[in-house]
Structure 1
Amino acid sequence: QAAMDAATDKMAELYRGEKPQPGLSELGTHGAGVVIADYCHDRNRTDDDYQRALTATLEALGDLWTERGIGEVERNRMTDEVMDTSLRRWFALTGRVVAG
């Protein structure tokens, strides 16, 4: 719980005082990736803001998954899924072509 609280505080700072949507860690990897991109796009964030939010979220989820006893190989796979889904969504929302 302490790891998630710390991550939520870090994300709230990045989100300029707003608390991120509750239950982010319960959405699954694809859902979490979409939420990050949608959140930043809905608030007209820059690419840099989005990158910081994605990084902070991935760190928070990694800490949470470690706390839950998920092994390194699985954590890496889950991190890749969140990142891939989020980047594809962000690029689509910002009008960029996504190949593959």
Structure 2
Amino acid sequence: MLKNRLVADFMLDPNRVEDKKCMEISLSTTHNNVWSNYYKEYLKFGKEEVRANVPSDLTQDKWDALCDLYETTTWKGKSDWNKANRGKNSTGHTCGSKSFIVFYEEVATI
């Protein structure tokens, strides 16, 4: 009986706004992670040999399309911007002058 209630509570309805938004966020995150992982694979090789080293789960055509994307100035600009932001935030998460952990501990005690 409890199992049936739990299953009923966790049914995703693509017509329901909240469920649709949740699915979009989840799929978008997964999509971005996959592209990021392929980009890491792309960076392992030089420009001449990268297209010959196709990941096992892609076809040559799809890999070539991704390589074309990774070679655009738009992609390179976004990549450089993200690298710069990661460098700025390497000290950890903060909330003003407090570290995230201190801030979290203060909120937890309220």
Q: TM-score, normalised by structure 2?
A: 0.27
| Structure with greater helix percent | 1
Q: TM-score, normalised by structure 1?
A: 0.29
Q: Which has the higher contact order (CA 8 A, sep 6+)?
A: 1
